[in-house]
Amino acid sequence: MKFLPIPRTNHIINSVKESHDTMKAKESFTTLWRLIKIGRKYWLYYIIIFVVNLVYAAIYEGRALIIKPFFDDGFIEKNWEACFSAALILFSLALPLALLRYLKDYLQGYISFAILIHLRNRLCNHLLTLSMRFFNKEKSGDIMSRLTNDVMVAQNALHFVFGDWVEQPMKILIALGLAFYINWKLALGALILFPLFIYPITKLGRNIKKYKGESLVKLSDVTEAIHQMFSGIKIVKAFNRTDRENTEFERLNRGFLRKSLQVERRKAISGAILELFQAISMGLLLMIGGYLVAKSSTIPMTPGDFIAFAVVMISMYAPSRVLAKAYNYTMESTAGCERIFEFMDMKPDITDSPDAVPLDRIEKGIVIKNLDFSYETEPVLQNICLEAKHGEVVALVGPSGAGKTTLLDLLARFYDPLNGSIEIDGIDLRRIKKDSYMKHIAIVTQDPFLFNSTIRENILYGKEDATQDEIETATRAANIHEFIAGLESGYDTPAGERGTLMSGGQRQRIAIARALLKNPEILLLDEATSALDSESEKLVQEALANLMKGRTTFVIAHRISTIQHADKIVVLEQGRIIETGRHEELLQKDGLYAKLYRYQFGQNAGE
């Protein structure tokens, strides 16, 4: 049997690769255009930058025309007046050039930094609109890296767009026009050389963008490692893992170095190609131009023509070199821009429906109907049905992983149910304006978060315009006023990062004061007194009692002794409600609640 020859497909593969590279280049410039459009409110500055660069390039390149009379009339003809006139013209252009240079550089810096700040603000604002699902999935170090490192990389792109991408093409076009004016045939020959270096430069530029994107991912890993290391510094030191953390940090840095060197290697190759091209082209120019001046009669050139032409070509090659370098840096910078736009293109999961209504006050209460929820594919809550009348305290009890915290997150509308609904006064929570609803709720978490600012500023987070009397009323009810008043700086005492300068009980009571100041109608409380000493626990319990008065409260109970007087106790297991009732009723049922009760009280008795 005779087999047909397998056709060669290399040309097809190469064609596909070239098509892919072209598409990538188009994507890069689309990204740049999108970045420029973000700063469209600065359109007047765009026009001014263009005009200033045009005038600067015209004067800068136009100086070459002075060289011809300087050499032909001044040197060859020994005419001192011609030399003096040429020098005088150059002197007269010096100050305008200097002023234009200052203006264009300042405007370039101003506009690139202005757009950088605008971009960073927009990115931060957009990130704050995204749901908790996004923040649970993304690494905080990567988010920080995109807000800091990647935005600075994007600023580099703007620097080149408003600098070299405006100035250098103008210089090249004006120099090319002057070259054709001096000797069009020689200029045409010089122009043919340009495509010889354009292809390798653009090819390298696309590779630079690819490796820069990979290096930024590595840099975000480094940022994440820094964040984790110093956030958990107490654990690092307690477990004597400083050497391990340092070794891991060095490993991540080496990964970043490897990717960065791949970028630098390609930029270095690009520079070498430019250097080679410039040396060859200048050698050819001297050879051909020298021949035309010395021997040619068909294309006559005076020494002044030749020197003026040489200066023009040098001034054309120099911007070409800068522009090629700018292309590489721009490709490098668009990698950062694309990472920024990747986040900016993400849509918030939690949004107001078109028919959403504001919530003025809550009169009836909360009803949860047939609620299902899952984070990915694994069900977390199934067929949850629950009612809390206005002012009732509902305690959530169950083993770890039962879905208690998830239910609080749904009530806070950090997520929306997969099926079923949560209704406030008979209105589906998804049909209530989110900002309006959030004004009516307050959350006190198991490990309260305090900002790295003063105690006063942390409490005012609940109500920014509160008076000192209102603050003190809240802190007295939270059993924390006397402690704060006894501090040297009082309410202006720093709380430390994440409240590390405060004890666990103090953080709890400051968080309770913050919630009291907001005066919410719905309270979501992850009660955490099990880790506190007896005195702190007593103070926190009294503060919590004050906080829950007259408010619809959902509380996750870690100690059954703290929720025995709740209006309703809901027992969850594996995402389902298995028991509901008051304390005495549930004990009589002798189910999971009674078992947890006996376990905790038996353990306490044993202690």
Question: Average pLDDT in the 382-400 region?
Answer: 92
* Per-residue pLDDT reduced to its tens digit, 528-575: 665 566 677 778 788 888 888 888 999 998 778 778 888 999 999 999
pLDDT given for residue 201 in this prediction? 67
pLDDT given for residue 87 in this prediction? 75
pLDDT given for residue 568 in this prediction? 94
Work out the pLDDT band at 195, boundaries 50, 70, 90: low
pLDDT given for residue 165 in this prediction? 82
pLDDT given for residue 9 in this prediction? 42
pLDDT given for residue 499 in this prediction? 84
* Per-residue pLDDT reduced to its tens digit, 206-259: 677 777 778 888 888 888 888 778 777 767 776 677 888 888 888 888 888 888
pLDDT given for residue 89 in this prediction? 80
pLDDT given for residue 164 in this prediction? 81
Distance between CA atoms of residues 531 and 371, nearest Å:
32
Phi-psi category of residue 433: left, alpha or beta, with phi > 0 → left and psi -120 to 50 → alpha: beta
What tokens were used for 328? 């590489």
What is the rounded average pLDDT for all residues in the chain?
Answer: 82
Work out the pLDDT band at 15, boundaries 50, 70, 90: very low
Q: What contacts 498, CB < 8 A, 6 or more positions away?
A: 449, 450, 452
Q: Detail the DSSP E strand segments found in 314-357.
A: none
Work out the pLDDT band at 377, boundaries 50, 70, 90: confident
pLDDT given for residue 381 in this prediction? 94
pLDDT given for residue 234 in this prediction? 66
| Residue 2 in this model has a pLDDT that exceeds 50 | no
Query: What b/e sequence results for 446-466 when a residue is b if at least 16 CB atoms lie within 10 Å of its CB, and e otherwise?
Result: eebebeeebbbbbbbbbbeeb
| Residue 432 in this model has a pLDDT that exceeds 60 | yes
28-344 adopts what CATH topology?
ABC transporter transmembrane region fold (1.20.1560)
pLDDT given for residue 318 in this prediction? 74
* Per-residue pLDDT reduced to its tens digit, 54-74: 998 888 888 777 776 666 665
Per-position DSSP letters for 175-213, written without gaps between them: HHHHHHHHHHHHHHHHHHTTHHHHHHHHHHHHHHHHHHH
Question: Average pLDDT in the 438-444 region?
Answer: 90
Q: Where are the domains of the chain?
A: 28-344
- 8 A C-beta contact, residue 456 and residue 471: yes
Work out the pLDDT band at 509, boundaries 50, 70, 90: confident
Min mean pLDDT across 3-17, 179-193, 443-457 is at 3-17
Work out the pLDDT band at 198, boundaries 50, 70, 90: low
Residue 149 gets which letter from DSSP?
Answer: I
Q: Detail the DSSP E strand segments found in 65-113.
A: none
pLDDT given for residue 533 in this prediction? 64
* Per-residue pLDDT reduced to its tens digit, 133-171: 888 888 888 888 888 888 888 888 888 788 888 888 888
* Per-residue pLDDT reduced to its tens digit, 269-301: 776 777 777 677 767 766 776 666 666 556 666
pLDDT given for residue 388 in this prediction? 93
Question: Average pLDDT in the 395-403 region?
Answer: 90
What tokens were used for 199? 């292809």
pLDDT given for residue 531 in this prediction? 55
* Per-residue pLDDT reduced to its tens digit, 98-129: 899 899 889 888 888 888 889 999 999 999 88
Work out the pLDDT band at 416, boundaries 50, 70, 90: very high
Q: Which residues pair with 571 in a beta bridge?
A: 397, 579
pLDDT given for residue 427 in this prediction? 93
| Residue 75 in this model has a pLDDT that exceeds 70 | no
| Residue 311 in this model has a pLDDT that exceeds 90 | no
